[in-house]
């Protein structure tokens, strides 16, 4: 095992050090990766970065994840560029009605309505009896 002067890490291949990483080694691995990724004519910058990571023992990252990391946070997600968006309407909960009343509030209102209805019926019946008594 030897120390790598480029990243001060240990270079290992099958548990045996491969020595100092040269630009030719990175170039050769990048060309291999380009062929594997379907663009054998010219390695991309991502191919070179992955080759260097592999040869120097750097952390493995997904190329898609790497692309996402390179995008500024402000540009991460903008489905319609220039759109300010809008606040979504709040949907009622499982036990709420369209007006946002809870189940207990709905039952309370229903009870009040039934009581009012009963009072109106009794008042109407009382009026009828009063009308029958008068000659």
Between residues 40 and 61, which one has the greater pLDDT?
40
Residues 6+ apart with CB under 8 A from 46: 63, 66, 67
Percent of the chain with pLDDT over 70: 61
Percent of the chain with pLDDT over 90: 16
Enter the pTM of the model. 0.34
Q: State pLDDT tens for residues 68-118.
A: 555 555 555 656 666 677 787 776 677 777 777 888 888 899 999 999 999
The token pair at 2 is: 């030897």
Residue 49 Cα to chain centre, angstroms: 28
């Amino acid at each position: 095992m030897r120390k790598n002067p480029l990243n001060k890490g240990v270079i290992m291949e099958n548990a045996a050090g491969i020595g100092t990483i040269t630009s030719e080694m990175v170039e050769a691995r990048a060309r291999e990766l380009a062929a594997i990724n379907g663009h054998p004519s010219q390695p991309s910058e991502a191919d070179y970065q992955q080759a260097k990571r592999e040869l120097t023992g750097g952390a493995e990252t997904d190329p898609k994840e790497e692309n996402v990391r390179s995008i500024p946070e402000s540009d991460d997600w903008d489905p319609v560029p220039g759109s300010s968006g809008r606040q979504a309407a709040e949907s009622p909960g499982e036990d709420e009605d369209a007006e946002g009343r809870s189940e207990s509030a709905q039952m309370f209102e229903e009870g009040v309505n039934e009581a009012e209805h009963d009072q109106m019926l009794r008042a109407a019946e009382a009026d009828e009896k009063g009308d029958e008594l008068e000659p």
